[in-house]
C-alpha cells in the first residue's frame, strides 16, 4: 500500500478534497530536475481544510474519479501518553499539597 502525500487545493464538494501531489522528475535528455504536479480527487471523511498537508491511499472506488481516501495514521502511543500525563498531574498535585502543608 503506497501512501501519497500532498497539499489540499480545494474542498468545494461534499466529502471530496482535491489534493495536489508535487514530485521531482529528471529530464530524459538534459537531466535537469523538473517539478510535476498531479491532482487527485480524494474521499474526505476527516474534514480537511485548504492548504493542509494530508496522506492518502488507494481504496475502493467512491465515484468515477474518486479512488483514493485520506489516511489518518493511528496513534498507538495515545493511551500511553494520556496515562503519562495523568500520572504527572497526580505527582504534581501531591507536591503542591506538601508545599502547602510546609508553608502553613
Res 50: pLDDT: 95
Per-residue pLDDT tens digits for 3-51: 999 999 999 999 999 999 999 999 999 999 999 999 999 999 999 999 9
Res 89: pLDDT: 54
| Beta-strand pair 68-70/16-26 | unpaired
Conformation bin of residue 10: beta by default, left when phi > 0, alpha when psi is -120 to 50: beta
Res 81: pLDDT: 47
Higher-confidence residue of 93 and 33: namely 33
Per-residue pLDDT tens digits for 70-89: 998 776 655 554 455 455 55
Residue 68 has pLDDT above 70, yes or no: yes
Amino acid at each position: 500500500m503506497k501512501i501519497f502525500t500532498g497539499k489540499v487545493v480545494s474542498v468545494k464538494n461534499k466529502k471530496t478534497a482535491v489534493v495536489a501531489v508535487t514530485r521531482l522528475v529528471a529530464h530524459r535528455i538534459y537531466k535537469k530536475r523538473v517539478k510535476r504536479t498531479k491532482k487527485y480527487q480524494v474521499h474526505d471523511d476527516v474534514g480537511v481544510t485548504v492548504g493542509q498537508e494530508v496522506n492518502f491511499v488507494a481504496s475502493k472506488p467512491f465515484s468515477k474519479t474518486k479512488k483514493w481516501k485520506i489516511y489518518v495514521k493511528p496513534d498507538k502511543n495515545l493511551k500511553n501518553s494520556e496515562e503519562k500525563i495523568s500520572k504527572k498531574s497526580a505527582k504534581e498535585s501531591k507536591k503542591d499539597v506538601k508545599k502547602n502543608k510546609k508553608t502553613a
